[in-house]
Amino acid sequence: MELTGLEREFLERLADGPWASPPLFDHSLVARLVEAGLVQTETLPDGAVQYEIAEAGRAALAES
């Protein structure tokens, strides 16, 4: 999978640790990464979504 600049930047940020989205974050921007299994998500009790890089995401970063 060829990553866009935005996708690559998002994975690079997640490589440092999980990230919880702010209320107005547009989740469609990273939906392709989640669907491809590069990023894992968890919905938090406050409704925010926590994103965490998956091993496949780390591999994709190493390839790019």
| CATH class, range 5-63 | mainly alpha
Q: How many angstroms separate the CA atoms of 24 and 48, rounded?
A: 9
- pTM across the whole model: 0.89
Indicate the domain borders of the chain: 5-63
**Each residue of 39-61: pLDDT tens digit?**
999 999 998 999 999 999 999 99
Q: What band does 33 get if pLDDT is binned at 50, 70 and 90?
A: very high
Residue among 61, 64, 60, 3 at smallest CA distance from 30: 3
pLDDT at 64: 76
| 28 token code pair | 């469609």
